[in-house]
Amino acid sequence: MPQFDQALAEAFYFEEPDVIANRTGRLSARQETMFRDGAVLYRKQVPKIMWLLAVALVAVIVMVLSQAKGDTGQIALALGATVAAMGVIVLLVRKNYSQADRFEAGAAVQVARGPVAVDQNPYNWLTDGDHVVGWEVSIGEVKFRFLPEQAEAFTPGAAYAIYYADFGQPRLSFLSAERA
């Protein structure tokens, strides 16, 4: 029978009710709230992004037009920059709203079971310039990226059940884990 692992819970900030809910293929109430709050944050970022880019865009246009003095090439360049900036704004807004929609819709709780492998030197992980600042933990083909202190909570080779959700982000959303 699976065992609640306090060291994992402390490393990843989950609680026993999370594991119990995840075992049955559901999010816990706390996890549902977390993703709902995440959706709200993604939606709140949109106006901030739009205002920031709009102010920057107006500043660039004013600067270019003040220096153009009737030069149609400069004006065309300002117009092109405006269209490009508007495209960036639209992409950022769509990305944030799409992620918020995925969080609100929820995702099926998935589980990876089996022996854990810990890679302290993944080839495509972030660095601080001198060394890798994250490790890869995998069960079969399912890979997770964790901070070293989190990855150290797993015993390499030991069997675990890692519960996660896939919200279409570059990384899977870790929910909870237990020894299998």
Provide the 8-state DSSP code for 128.
-
Nearest Cα neighbor of 96 from 33, 47, 145, 164 is 47
The pLDDT of residue 111 is 92
The pLDDT of residue 140 is 87
Classify 93 in phi/psi space as left (phi over 0), alpha (psi -120 to 50) or beta. alpha
Interatomic CA distance for residues 177 and 8, integer angstroms: 7
pTM of the model: 0.67
What residues in the chain have per-residue pLDDT under 50? Answer: none
Tokens for 149?
């202190």
The pLDDT of residue 130 is 58
Sign of CA pseudo-dihedral 57, 59, 61, 64: negative
120, 138 contact by CB (below 8 A): no
Interatomic CA distance for residues 41 and 15, integer angstroms: 23
